[in-house]
Amino acid sequence: MFAYSASHDLQEPLRNIAISAQLIERTVGHEALGPSAPFLAEVLTSARRMGALLEDLLAYTKATKYEEGPPPTVDTAQVLAGVLQSLRRVIDETGARVTTGNLPAVPIHASRLSQLFQNLISNSLKYRSREVPLVHVDAAGRGGWCVFSISDNGIGIDPRFAERIFGLFQRIHGRDEYPGSGIGLAICQRVVEQYGGRIWVEHSTSGQGSTFCFTIPARPRY
Ligand code: ADP
């Protein structure tokens, strides 16, 4: 709740900073600013970046709220189809091939499962190697749990960072290299934990792709 109100309340003064900087630029004029122009440009860039971070922080705090009511049993293949549809453009642009194994129905709110697939598959496409991206989504039963896996042939993750990447704002790669703010996996972790499950990276050696796994109870708990 604190993070929610903080990120929400910080947006207004930030908007004022951005608007004031734009007004200075407009009223004084870019030319007349002379050597100060780059400083003003920096104020604007930083305000925009901070705005994006606050947006992400808000998305994170919303993900920490459990969806209303007990989870319905959803057809995961259908949820995945919706996510792939929304990623159609990047899939077409990269020529990616997304394959799926047998996906069972599990008790989870469809919007939450959608968030998980969306974040993990878009990461597989973003952190692709030079090869045509191959993504495989699968599921297997294990002791009352359904273990979902999303494997890719991307740039891989150094095992030293395999736990850290789930932290808020934690990234391994620079923003110039790959855009992002390091919040997607933190959201995934919060979502999975709300259903009592966990999420991790399975044996992933740099340069050999990555496999992300998460667990969801196989049957309704109540
Ligand atoms: P973002 O993508 O915005 O940085 P995430 O929280 O989704 O944020 O991911 C955190 C970090 O984990 C990324 O910066 C990236 O370094 C690494 N990562 C996530 N998914 C993959 C993947 N499929 N392959 C390689 N690295 C990944």
pLDDT at res. 132 = 96
Name the token pair of 186: 């933190």
Which ligand 1 atom minimizes the distance to the CA of 186? 6
- Measure CA 130 to chain center: 22
pLDDT digits (tens, 9 = 90+) for 187-212: 999 999 999 999 999 976 656 899 99
Q: Which pLDDT belongs to residue 207?
A: 62
pLDDT in tens, 10-50: 889 999 999 999 999 889 887 888 888 889 989 999 999 89
Closest residue by Cα to atom 9, ligand 1, is: 182
The length of the chain is 222
Closest C-alpha to 109, from 67, 78, 79: 67
Say what the pLDDT of residue 29 is.
85
Question: Does the beta carbon of 180 sit less than 6 angstroms from any atom of ligand 1?
Answer: yes
Strands, E assignment, the chain: 73-75, 97-100, 105-107, 134-142, 145-152, 199-202, 210-217
Question: Rounded to the nearest whole angstrom, what is the distance from the C-alpha of residue 165 to the centroid of ligand 1?
Answer: 7
pLDDT of residue 176: 81
Probe ligand 1: pick from 120, 152, 165, max atoms within 8 Å of CB?
165
* CATH architecture label of 73-217: 2-Layer Sandwich (3.30)
Alpha carbons 139 and 147: distance in angstroms, whole number: 5
pLDDT digits (tens, 9 = 90+) for 46-74: 999 899 888 888 888 887 677 778 899 99
**Tens digit of pLDDT for each residue in 77-94?**
999 999 999 999 999 999
123 touches ligand 1 (CB under 6 Å): yes
